[in-house]
Amino acid sequence: MRLTRASRYVHSVELIDVDDLKARGIRCVLVDRDNTLVPRDTKVAPPRVRAWLDRLREEHIAVCMVSNNFHTDQVCASAEDLGCAVVHHAMKPAPVAIQVALVTMGVPKEQAVLVGDQLFTDVLAGNLAGIHTILVRPQSRTDLWYTQIFRIVEQGFLGGVQFEGE
Ligand SMILES: [Mg+2]
């Protein structure tokens, strides 16, 4: 397994079919915050994301936000707003926060998936923790300066990968 290869590539979170997750035995979705659920420019999760989270809840699939963002107040406010559990200061790509989230949610790694918009934090952390990963496109072009550098390198790693929904 290549550590920088996601299990799936999907354009955006709401295109991840909840019935399909259920059919695959997924009971918990670990999900990145910035530019995955909440765009970095508007800082408000769009209705389509909220609807997707509602669908997960309808199917009794737990959601835990796992965020590297150091602004704990903002991360916790988002998690509360979206009705998710939260692990902040995650320090992805270190896999520790993923393992903490799995223990907190009481779900074995085989029944969880990590969704995020960055190869070198989200996907790498998920692979190091041994769970399925789904890479989505960032919701906005606004990124931290160092993330913008990673984006350039990321493009090289992604090559011609086809994202579902594009
Ligand atoms: Mg992100």
The CATH number linked to 153 is 3.40.50.1000
Residues 12-65 pLDDT 10s = 999 999 999 999 999 999 999 999 999 998 889 999 999 999 999 999 999 999
How many angstroms does the Cα of residue 90 sit away from the middle of ligand 1?
Answer: 12
**124 in a domain, yes or no?**
yes
How many angstroms does the Cα of residue 138 sit away from the middle of ligand 1?
Answer: 7
pLDDT at position 142: 82
How many angstroms does the Cα of residue 120 sit away from the middle of ligand 1?
Answer: 10
Cα angle 81, 82, 84; round to 5: 115
For the beta carbon of residue 155, count every other beta carbon within 10 angstroms: 10
**146 in a domain, yes or no?**
yes
Q: What is the mean pLDDT of the chain?
A: 95
As beta bridge partners, residue 31 has 65, 115
Distance CA 59, CA 13 (A): 16
**69 in a domain, yes or no?**
yes
**164 in a domain, yes or no?**
no
pTM: 0.95
**89 in a domain, yes or no?**
yes
How many angstroms does the Cα of residue 103 sit away from the middle of ligand 1?
Answer: 22
Number of domains within the chain: 1
pLDDT at position 149: 85
**166 in a domain, yes or no?**
no
Distance CA 61, CA 143 (A): 29
Q: Which domain holds residue 108?
A: 8-157
1, pLDDT greater than 70: no
